[in-house]
Amino acid sequence: MTNFTRRDFLKVGAAGTATAILAGCSQESERWVTLEPYVRAPEEQLAGIPSWYASTCRMCPAGCGIIVRIMNGRAVKIEGNPEHPVNRGKLCARGQAGLQLLYNPDRVTGAARQEERGSRKFKAVAWNEAINTLYEKLSAAGSAIGIWLGSSTSAHLHDLFARYAEAVGAPPPVYYDLYPGLNGYRALLDANAALFGQAALPTYNVARADVIFSFGADFLGTWLSATAYGVEFGQFRDQPYGKRGLLVQFEPKMSVTGAKADRWVPIRPGAEALVAQALLRLIADEGYGGSERAERAARLAGDVDLDEAAAACEMTREELATLARLFAEAQHPLAIPGAALAGTGNGTQAVAVVQLLNIVAGMLSVPGGVQFPPEVPAGLTAPQPSSYAEVQALLERMKAGEVRALLVHGANPVYDLPPEAGVVEALQRVETIVSFNPLVDETAVLADYLLPDRVYLEGWGYTVVQPAFGGMPAVSSQQPVVGPFHDVRSTADVLLTVARGIPAAAAALPWTDEVAFIKERITALPKGAQGGEDAEVRWARFLQHGGWWPETAPGSAPPELAAQGPIGVLPTTYDGDEADYPFYLHLYPSVLLGDGRGASLPWLQSAPDPLTTVAWQTWAEINPVTAEALGLKDGDVVRVASPHGAVEVIVYEFPAIRPDTIAIPVGQGHSDSGRYARERGAHALQLVGAAADEAGANFTWANVRVKITKTERQQALARLESTIDPGPDVHVPF
C-alpha cells in the first residue's frame, strides 16, 4: 500500500457495509417468530402441509372459482380454480387481493351501534341484543322496509332477502352498485330483451371469432369478466390452422383492451351508435359480405350521415367503408357493445344498434358469436341488476318517509351514486339504517347499526354464474375456507333468526340456518360434471370442486328476433355547453380498484395502473397536444368542473386519448372505507348528474362535458414508468 487515499477508505468502508448488509439479511426477524400451535388441532391438518379449499371470488360479480391455500388455519394465497368454467384456473389482481379483505385492519370486529349518525363513534353491542333490536325494528316496520344489495351479496342471501320482502309485502330488494352501473349491465339486459325477448347477460365468444369490433368494451380490463375473456383472448389470438383474430377497438381513450387491439379507433365519445349505424348502412349499400348479410343489413340499417360517422372516427368515408367490409366479409365477425355507450342518454338503444351488427352477420348462438345463458335447473337464477328507475323508486320511498328500516348489504349507495341522486338526503329520512358490510364505508357511517357479515372467505353462499361463459350453466360454491377472524355473524343466519319471530315471514323462511337452505337448493340440482348419485355425495362434490356445472354445455337455439326494422337512436346530447365546457369527460372503472371497493386493499392501491403506471392517486389523462395548449404538464393539479360538480386531479399526459377528451378513473375519493381508501384522490362521480337515461336503465354518466382550470399546486405522480422527457421524436398520434 503506497498511499491510503480517500478512495481506498471508501473501498474499505463499502466492503464493510456490504458485509454488514449481507449479514443483515439474516433471519433476525424470523428467528424470534413466536410459534402458535393449535389449541385443538384439526385431525386433517398436518403442520407444514397446506390444505386447499374451493370457493367463489366475490371481488366483482363475475363469479370466478377460486382455490385458497390454508396453512395452520390461515388463508395465505388465493388462486384460480382450474376446473371452473368461468376463469379456468386464472385469477385477476382483484381476486388475489381478496385476502386483504379478510385481514383488513379496519374491519368491523363485531356488532356495533352508532349513537349519532356520522359521528364515527361506534359502541360494541352483544349479538343477541343486536339481533333483538333488528327484530323489533323490522317487526315494527312491517312492509315499510328497504333492502339494498350489491354485487358482493351472495345469490343465496339475495334469494332469502327477496323471500322476506315478498312475505312482509315490501318491494323486492334493490340490487345495484357501481359495478353493474359503470359496466352497463342493465342496458345490455334491456337491449337484449328488446331485440330477442330475453333479458339476460350474453357472452361474446371471443375465442372463436375472427374479427372483433369492440365499441368501448374493456373486456380484458373490467367488463363482465376480465379473467374469462382473458382466457378466450388467448384462444382468439391462437386459433386452429394458424388463424389469428383481428381486434378493432373503438374508444376515445385507450384501455387495456385497446392496447392489445390491432387497430385502435379514437372514436368521439357518444358516437358509438352512430358509427355502428354507419357500418350497417355501408354493408347494406355496398353489399359487403354476400347477399344474405347485405339483405339483413338493408332491413335493419337506418338513415345515417356517413360523413359525420367517419369524422367521429377521425377517418375518411373510404376508410370507414374498409372497416365495414372487413367486418362483413369475415367468417365469424363479432361486435361487442361496451360500457361507455351504455352510460349515455340513449344507452339501451346504442347497445341494441351494436347488437344489430351481430344479427346482420348471423352470429347468434353460434361459435364465435353472441351466446345466451342456458337455463340453470332447479329454479336457481342469478339476481338481475336493478334498473336505475327501481333505485330511484326506493330513494323516493325513502325521501317520502315510507321506509322505516333500510338494510344495506354488499353495496355502498352513498359512494355508488352521484351526489345529485340525493342518497344522503334520502337516508336522513329513514328511521333505522343497518349496514351488514365488513368495513365502515360511506354508507355505514350514516347507519345506526353495524351487523358485520362474514367476508366471503369466511362465509357460505353460491353464485349462479352470469354471463355463462362457454354456454355452460354453472352454480359456483362458496364455503368458509377459514373460521371467522372476528366476532361477525352471517347475515343470512341473522335474517333467518329475525324472521322466525315475525309471523308474516316465519313461514316463508323456515330454514334453521343458511347451510340448510343452500344444501336444499343445491341438492335439487341434477348430477353434474362432478358426479354423485346420492344427494350427500353431490353436496360434498359441490363444495370440493367449487360448484356445479354439467359435463358439456347444453347448446341453445338462436333466439327469435323481435327487432324487424331499424332502431332509431337519438343523437347523444351532452350535459354542459360546448363553449363553457370544451372537453368530453370519459370515466372508466379502474382496472385495479374496480368500482371503488378495491380502494381499501393496499395491494390494489399500490399496484400500478396498466396503462399509466400510476398508483395510489387519481389522475386526469390529457393528450399532450391539449396539455401544451393549456400550459399543463405532468403533476399539475387541475380543477375539472362540469355543470354538476368539480374535482381536483393530477395531470397525466397520455398520448392515447383524443385531444378533446379528458379521462378520469373511478375508484378513489373515499371519505371512509378504511385507512387505505380514506381521503385519497377524487371521486369522479361528483362530475356526473343523476338524471336517468331514456329507458331508465342507468344514470347518465358518459355524456358530460367538462372544463379544466389550472391550480397553483403541483403533486408528483406516484408512477413506475420513466419521467424523463422522451424528446421530440416520441410518436403522438394526433
Binding of another protein by 3 (CB under 8 A): yes
Query: Using CB under 8 A, which of 14, 19, 270, 585 touches another protein?
Result: 19
CB of 32 to another protein, least distance (A): 7
CB of 262 to another protein, least distance (A): 41
Closest to 464 (Cα-Cα) out of 552, 525, 412: 525
Binding of another protein by 48 (CB under 8 A): yes
641, 709 contact by CB (below 8 A): yes
Closest to 352 (Cα-Cα) out of 573, 181, 182, 199: 199
Q: Mark 158-187 with x for binding to another protein (rule: CB under 8 A) and - for no binding.
A: ------------------------------
Binding of another protein by 533 (CB under 8 A): no
50, 78 contact by CB (below 8 A): no
Q: Which C-beta is closer to another protein: that of 25 or that of 579?
A: 25
CB of 40 to another protein, least distance (A): 5
SS3 492: helix
SS3 584: strand
Q: What residue has cell string 344498434?
A: 353
Which bin fits 690, alpha (ψ -120 to 50), beta or left (φ > 0)? alpha
How many beta carbons lie within 10 A of that of residue 118, not counting itself?
Answer: 11
Query: Using CB under 8 A, which of 14, 17, 506, 562 touches another protein?
Result: 17
CB of 14 to another protein, least distance (A): 11
Whole-angstrom CA distances from 712 to 454, 572, 636, 664 are: 46, 35, 8, 20
Q: Could you tell me the maximum CA-CA distance found in the chain, to the nearest angstrom? A: 99
DSSP 364: B
Q: Which C-beta is closer to another protein: that of 4 or that of 241?
A: 4
What does the angle CA 493 – CA 499 – CA 505 come to, to the nearest 5 degrees?
A: 135
SS3 316: coil
CB of 85 to another protein, least distance (A): 33
Q: Which C-beta is closer to another protein: that of 3 or that of 291?
A: 3
Q: Which C-beta is closer to another protein: that of 10 or that of 561?
A: 10
Helix H or strand E encompassing 291: helix 290-300
How many beta carbons lie within 10 A of that of residue 558, not counting itself?
Answer: 15
SS3 371: strand
| Cα 488 from Cα 131, distance rounded (Å) | 12
CB of 45 to another protein, least distance (A): 10
Q: Which C-beta is closer to another protein: that of 1 or that of 724?
A: 1
CB of 27 to another protein, least distance (A): 5
Closest to 209 (Cα-Cα) out of 335, 21, 316: 335
Q: Which C-beta is closer to another protein: that of 40 or that of 123?
A: 40
CB of 43 to another protein, least distance (A): 11
Ranges within 78-137 binding another protein (CB under 8 A): none
668, 617 contact by CB (below 8 A): yes
Q: Which C-beta is closer to another protein: that of 32 or that of 241?
A: 32
Ranges within 22-41 binding another protein (CB under 8 A): 23-24, 26-28, 30-41
Q: Which C-beta is closer to another protein: that of 46 or that of 524?
A: 46
State the number of binding residues for another protein (CB under 8 A): 33
Q: Which C-beta is closer to another protein: that of 34 or that of 291?
A: 34
CB of 494 to another protein, least distance (A): 24
Q: Which C-beta is closer to another protein: that of 5 or that of 552?
A: 5
Whole-angstrom CA distances from 234 to 80, 89, 221, 260 are: 17, 14, 14, 11
Binding of another protein by 44 (CB under 8 A): no
Query: Using CB under 8 A, which of 4, 115, 240, 731 touches another protein?
Result: 4
CB of 20 to another protein, least distance (A): 5
Report residue 333: phi and psi, to 5°. -75, 155
CB of 77 to another protein, least distance (A): 16
Ranges within 195-254 binding another protein (CB under 8 A): none
Q: What residue has cell string 359487403?
A: 288
Q: Which C-beta is closer to another protein: that of 9 or that of 103?
A: 9
| Cα 212 from Cα 361, distance rounded (Å) | 12
Give me the residues that bind another protein (CB under 8 A), please.
1-4, 6, 9, 12-13, 16-17, 19-20, 23-24, 26-28, 30-41, 46-49
